[in-house]
Structures are given as C-alpha cells and as structure tokens.
Amino acid sequence: MTPQRSTRRATLATLGVAGLAAGSAALVIVLGGNPAVAASDTSAAFALSATGIDTTGQVAATSSSGAIQTAAKDSFASASGSFTATGLSSSAGAGTATAKVGDLVVAGLDLGAFSATCTDGKVTVQHGKTQPDPARKIHVNYGSDGSGSGAAATVIFSGAGGAADTIVLAHVECAQSAPPPTGPPPSSTSNPPPSSSTTPVPPPTGPPPTGTSAPGPIPTTMPGSGGGTGGSGGTPPAAPAPTPSPGRMAVTG
C-alpha cells in the first residue's frame, strides 16, 4: 500500500468519526429540547399578570413538579398607576397549586380579594362576584370551578390614553395524579415452595401383578463344569456298583 493511499484512508476515517460525533450531539439537543415531556406533571401559579399599556408579566409566580415552592409580594403597582394590588402570593407542587390577591384597586375602584386553588387537576376559585358600574368602563369576567387550569377573574378596563388593559388574577394549573393500583398485590413467587412435611409413600404389598412370578430359591451350590442330570452344573451322581461275574468274588471297597 502506498503512503498516499494510507494517508487518504486515515483522513476519511477521521472525518467519519467526527461526523458521527456531530450527529450524536445533534440528537441529544433535539431530545433534550422537548418541553412537553418534562412539563407534563408540572404545577404552576401566579397572583397577577397584566397586558396592554401596563404590561407586567407574571407577578408572584412559581412552578414545581415535586416539592411545594412558594412566591409572595406584599404590594404591586402598575407603571402608570392605573391599578394597585396587595397581598400577592402563590405556591405550586406535585398535584397542587394556589394563588391569591389580597386586594385589587383599579382606577380608584376596590374590587376586593381573589384566590384560586388546584388540587389533583380540579380548580376551585373564590371572588366577590361584584360587577362595578359600567360607567366606570371596568369589566370583570369572574372565573368558575373547573379542571386542569383556571383563573379567579379577568379584569378589562381603559388604561392610560384610553387603551384597554387586561389583568388576569389568581391563575393556577396542576395535573391529575395517577390513581393508586387496585386489587390484591402480586405474588412474590410464581410457584409455591415444596412442603417440608411430605408423607413417605409405603412400599407395595400383596401378590405380584398378573404375568409376573415371585423370585425362586437361591441355589446353595456353585455351578460346575461336570455333567449331571438336567443340566451342566451341580453335584455329579454316584457311580453304579459293579456286577459280579460267575466264579469270581465281587470286589468291594
């Protein structure tokens, strides 16, 4: 292999590794940038938020998906002075959120207190339900109990220069927690352990089954290689006595 070809292959390999690393980094950024998954169980609340001439952002705001977090502000006044509020507070944690405005004054008119609570996805609101005189050009949309999220009230009025300002009061949101499991708990073992007090099985009694015979007696002599009657083993029979011939005496012994 020539040095030029080796250098070219090494360069291509380096570029391939660098491209793989860049692609992995891009994948991590995409996965980590999805807020919908991370915020699905997050509770949030704020006491007041205004848009229009006096845009304020969320005042006394907090959020949490775990331990309860709180925020509070003793008093707040818009930049133009068209409205003021006191006793602002909020709290949020897993499955719960609260928000409160102790008192709100808009264009010199005292609208009272507003509060909202969210528990396990259910929203409850409290307010005075008092509509101001339409001649004051102040309109209040009072909230109602619901689910998921809600505000105690929305106030619309003519601010500085005659432009409309909108104030959202005591806004909360929280998720419904998962229901607890029902039914008996699952067994810790799939098969029960064997019993330690197993009854021994007695040996069979009575005559042997049909078609079988009981074992015969054990032989008392060792088999041999000699003859015999009825087989090739055992003790050989005694020899017969000789027959005497005439004129001769029988030999005995």
Between these two residues, 209 and 43, which has the higher pLDDT value?
43
CB-side neighbour CA atoms (13 Å) of 249: 3
* 99-112 pLDDT tens trace: 999 999 998 899 99
Between these two residues, 96 and 22, which has the higher pLDDT value?
96
Find, among 84, 91, 139, the residue nearest to 115 by Cα. Answer: 91
pLDDT at 131: 73
Between these two residues, 131 and 242, which has the higher pLDDT value?
131
**Does the pLDDT at position 214 exceed 70?**
no
Contact between 214 and 208 under an 8 Å Cβ cutoff? The reply is yes
Average pLDDT of span 150-173: 89
Average pLDDT of span 222-250: 54
Cα separation, 162 vs 7, whole angstroms: 75
Q: Whole-angstrom distance between the N-terminal and C-terminal Cα of the chain?
A: 113
* 2-12 pLDDT tens trace: 444 444 444 44
What lies within 8 Å, CB to CB, of 86 at 6+ separation is 74, 75, 76, 101, 102, 103
Q: Which two tokens stand for residue 62?
A: 């907090």
pTM above 0.75, yes or no: no
Cα separation, 39 vs 63, whole angstroms: 10
What lies within 8 Å, CB to CB, of 162 at 6+ separation is none
Contact between 106 and 82 under an 8 Å Cβ cutoff? The reply is yes
Choice among 2-16, 59-73, 143-157 with the minimum mean pLDDT: 2-16
